[in-house]
Amino acid sequence: MSERHVHTPPESSGDAPGRGRLSGRRILIVGGGQMDIGEADTPIGNGRAISVLFAREGAGVAVADRDLASAEATVSLVARENHQAFAIEADVTREADVARMIDGAISGMGGALDGLVLNVGIGAGGAWLEGTSLEAWNKVFAVNITSHMLCVKHALPKLAEGSSIVFVSSIAGMTAGSRLPAYDSSKAALQGLCRHVAFEGARRGIRANVIAPGLMDTSIGRLASRGRPGRATTNVPLGRQGTGWETAYAALFLISDESAYITGQTLAVDGGLTGL
Q: Which residues are catalytic?
A: 183
CB atoms within 10 A of CB 66: 18
CB atoms within 10 A of CB 20: 11
Torsion of CA 155, 255, 44, 267, to 10 degrees: 110
Q: Residue type for 82, please?
A: N
How far does Cα 198 stand from its chain's mean position? 17
**What CA–CA distances, in Å, run from 231 to 1, 169, 225, 270?**
8, 18, 6, 13
Beta strands in 57-198 (DSSP E): 60-65, 85-89, 113-118, 159-168
**If residue 134 lies in a helix (H) or strand (E), which one and from where to where?**
helix 134-141
